[in-house]
Chains A and B, each alone.
Chain A
Amino acid sequence: MRTDDVTAPDLFLGLDLGSRTTKIVELAAGAVVGFEVFDTTHDSIEQVRARLDRRDYVRAAATGYGRFLMNAHLDCRVVTEITACAIGTRFVRPQAGLVIDIGGQDSKVILLGNGSGAFADFEMNDRCAAGTGRFLEVMARLLGFGIEEFGRAACEGGEMITLSSMCTVFAESEVISLLAAGRDRASIALGLHGSIADRVYPLAARFDVNGEVLMAGGVALNPCLVDLLSKRLGRPVVVPEHPQIVTAIGAALAANEGVKP
C-alpha cells in the first residue's frame, strides 16, 4: 500500500527505524492513509530520506533503534518505541490493556493505563538476542524454513521438544544435534517457539491487565507464537491487521500530537 501522491496539508509521518525493518506510516485526518515496510540496511536513513523528499508533509516523528540517527539527518520529533507502541496500540485497538512487542533485538511488554501518560509501565528483556525476532530468524534458517512458514510449520509439530538453552549460539548447536538424531523438524520448531514464549511470558505475567492483550511487531504474524502465548497467559492474544506498523502509527500520532521529544 503506497500513496506517493498524497500531499495532503495535514499529512503526518511516523518513521520506525528498527534493527531489522524500517516502517513508514502516513497519517492524515486521523487515519492511516499509507504505509511501507522495508529491510533496514546500512543506508536506511538515506532510503527514508529519499522517500520523504518526494512528499509534502507537516511533520515526522522518528522512533526505534535509529531514532537519534534519523533526527540528526532530518528535522523530526523523536519518541521512544515504548511510547510510540503504546500510542499506536491505543489507536488500533482501544480495548487493549497490554501490548507485547517482540522486535528484532528486544522484546517489550507495555501496560497501558488510564493516567496522563501514554502507558502505565513496561518491561523489557535484557541485552540478549534470546527471545527476540532475531532468534526466530536464525533458527528458521537453520531448520530450512522461510520466516513466514516457520510459525505455520511449528503449529504442526507433534511434540514440543524442550530446548535447554535460550542462547542463540548454544540453541543452534542443540538444534543441529537434534536434527542429526533424526528428530522431526516441526517438533523442534515447536520447541523453539516454546522457549521464546517462556521468555516473554514472565514479562507479561508481571502485570495486572485491564483489557485485551495485543501483540504488535512483525513476530505477531507468527501463528504458533501467538497461540503459545495466549495459552500461557490463559487469555486470547489479539493480533491487529498490520502488526508491524503499530509502533510507526504511534510515531505518526506523536508527530501529530503534543508528545514532547
Chain B
Amino acid sequence: MAARIRREECMARSDELLKDLGLDVDLHRRIFDAVDRNFRETVLAQKIRPARMAYFDGVIHEAHGGRVREIIERRAAGDKLIGTFCIYVPEEIVLALGAIPVALCGGTSLSIPYAEKLLPRDICPLVKSTVGLALSNTCPYSPIEDLAVGETTCDAKKKTWDLLAKNGDLYVIELPQKKGARDRDLWFEEVCQFKTRLERLTGRTLDPERLAGAVRLMNRKRRALARLNDFRKEANPPLSGLDALVVMQGALLDDAIRFTERLEALNDELEDRVRRGIGVASERAKRIMISGCPSVLGNWKLHALVESAGAIVVCDETCTGSRYYENLVEEDRSGLEAQIAAIADRYLKIECSCFSPNAERIDSILRLAREHRVHGVVQYVLQYCHTYNVEAVAVAAALKDAGVPSLKVVTDYAESDTGQLRLRVDAFLEGLGR
C-alpha cells in the first residue's frame, strides 16, 4: 500500500473495485465522502504532524481500496478473511492459520438508517452503524468475508448476532461474564473451539511453530503500540490524540507485519521529536484521558472537540486505545494447549465493562491517569451503551477520590449534539483551572 495518495485518484480507482464487488457505489460515495471530509477537516488539518503519519493516513485512505484489493489477492491464493467486531477475538490464532483479521466496526452515522430498517432505534450507534454498512451494501469487506466472528459481550451485540446469523456465515464466541476459575475454563474452551472452527474454514491445522510466530508478531505489534503511547506521557507529547486514533484504526485494519514495521519507524521519529523538543501542544495545554466506548473512524468528534479547544488527549482507555495494546501473551509456553492457554489468559485480562465485577478496569484508569499525568478524564459513553454508562458511576467516584476531575458525556454518531458536547467539554476544561 502506497503512502498518501491523492484523494481523487484514490476514489476513482476504488469506484471500479466497489462496482466489481457489487456494492452500491453511489451510496458508498455519499457515506464515505462525509467520513473523508471529516478526516481532512480534523486530522489532516492539524499542524506539525510527524512526517511518518503519512503511511497511516494512507492506510485509512486505502481501507476501501488498496487494502481490499490486497485481501482479494490473498483470498485467491487460498487465505481467508475473518471479520471481527471486538478486541476479544484472538488475532494470534487467526494469523497463525494464515487468515486475515479485519475489524468491521462502523463509525459513521450515515449507515444507521439502513440498520434501523431491521434493528430497533434505541441501541448503541456502533452496532447500528456496523450493521447498516452491511445491510446498505456499502462495506467492501462484506462480499469477501469468509467468516464473521461475533461475541457474547453486550446485549445489543448478542441479539444482533441472532438476527444476522440468517444472512451469512457468522460464528459467535462465548465470553464469560466474570473472571473466576470456572469462567477461565469456559473461555479456554471457547478459544479452543474457535481454533477448531478456523481450522475447518481454512483447511489448515494449527501448527505450534506458526502459532509461536503469530504470538511473537502480535506481542511485537502491541509493544510498538505501547511505545507509541509512552510518548504521549511526555510533558510535550510529540503526537496528538487524533493521530493516535489514526494509528489505532490502522492496527485494526492493516496487515500486522507491515503495520508493525511502519509503527516502529514512526516511533523512531517520535523519539527523535521528543529529543528535539518538538511537541504538538503548548506546555499549558490540559492533558485529557478519554475512557469508555471505542472511537471508531467516522466518530472522532470528541477528540476533535477536546483538541480544538486547546487541550490534548494523551491517553485512550478504550478498545481503540489501551485495552487493545496492554498485556502480552506469554511466549515461552511449549505445546499447543499451553500456548492457547497463554493466549486465552491474555485476552481475559481485557477490561471491558461487559464483565462484572470489573474493578481491574478502575485500577487501570487510575494508573493510566497517573502515568500520563492527566488533568482530567472524559468518560465517553455511546448512547444506549448501558455497561459503560452504569460503570461510569463507579469510575467517576474512584477518580474523585484520587483527586482527578472527570466529565461524563453521552453521545451518538450524529453531529446534532456538537453544540451541547462542546459546551460540556469547554466548561470542563475551564473548570480544570488556569
A80 at the interface (CB under 8 A from B): yes
- From known contacts A80-B426, A81-B423, A82-B427, infer whether A117 and B417 are also in contact, taking CB-CB under 8 Å: no
Choose among B410, B417, B420, B433 the residue that contacts A115 (Cβ–Cβ < 8 A). B433
B433–A82 touching, CB < 8 Å: no
Set of chain B residues within 8 Å of A258, measured between Cβ atoms:
434
- Interface status of A260 (Cβ within 8 A of chain B): yes
Contacts of A120 in B (CB 8 A): 431
Encoded as 1 (CB less than 8 Å from any A CB) or 0, chain B from 226 to 270 comes to 000000000000000000000000000000000000000000000
Find chain A residues with CB under 8 A from B201 CB. none
Q: Which secondary structure dominates where chain B touches chain A?
A: helix
Please tell me if A73 contacts chain B, counting CB pairs below 8 Å.
Answer: no
Contacting A at CB under 8 A, from B377-424, are: 405, 410, 417, 419-420, 423-424
> Does A106 reach chain B (CB closer than 8 Å)?
yes
Segment at the interface with B among A30-38, A92-100, A122-130: A122-130
The 8 Å CB contact of A79, one of B410, B430, B434, is: B430
B432 at the interface (CB under 8 A from A): yes
B410 in contact with A80 (CB, 8 Å) = no
Assembled-state Cα–Cα distance A117/B403 (Å): 14
Interface residues as binary, A70-91 with B (CB distance below 8 Å gives 1, 0 otherwise): 0000000001111100000000
In the complex, are the beta carbons of B410 and A126 less than 8 A apart? yes
Known: A124-B424, A126-B410. A82 touches B417 (CB 8 A): no
Assuming the contacts A106-B420, A126-B410, A127-B420, asked whether A83 and B434 have C-beta atoms less than 8 A apart, the reply is no
Set A65, A80, A116, A126: member contacting B427, Cβ < 8 A: A80
Interchain CB contact under 8 A, A119 and B410: no
Q: Give A127 to B410 CA distance when docked, in angstroms.
A: 10
By a CB distance below 8 angstroms, the chain B residues around A178 are none
- A83 contacts B417, CB within 8 Å? no
Evaluate whether A83 and B431 lie within 8 angstroms (CB atoms) in the complex, with A106-B420, A127-B417 already known: yes
Chain A residue with the shortest CB-CB distance to B284 = A260
Q: Is A221 an interface residue (CB 8 A)?
A: no
Given the contacts A126-B410, A127-B417, A83 and B430 also touching, CB distance less than 8 Å: yes
Interface centre among B410, B419, B427, B434 (most CB of A within 10 A): B427
Shortest C-beta distance, B122 to chain A (Å), equals 14
A259 interface residue per 8 A CB criterion: yes
Q: Cβ of B423 and Cβ of A80 under 8 Å apart?
A: yes
Q: Does A118 contact B (CB under 8 A)?
A: yes
Q: Which of B195-222 contact A (CB under 8 A)?
A: none
Residues of B within 8 A of A117 (CB): 430-433
- Chain A residue nearest in CB terms to B416: A127
A127 / chain B contacts, CB cutoff of 8 Å:
417, 420
B interface residues with partner A (beta carbon < 8 Å): 405, 410, 417, 419-420, 423-424, 426-427, 430-434
Nearest 7 Cβ contacts at the A-B interface: A82-B427, A116-B433, A80-B427, A117-B433, A83-B430, A117-B431, A80-B426
Seen from chain A, the residues whose Cβ lies within 8 Å of a Cβ on chain B are 65, 79-83, 106, 115-122, 124, 126-127, 258-260
Besides A124-B420, A126-B420, 16 more A-B contacts (Cβ < 8 Å) are A80-B426, A81-B427, A82-B423, A82-B427, A83-B427, A115-B433, A116-B434, A117-B431, A117-B433, A118-B430, A120-B431, A121-B405, A258-B434, A259-B430, A260-B430, A260-B434
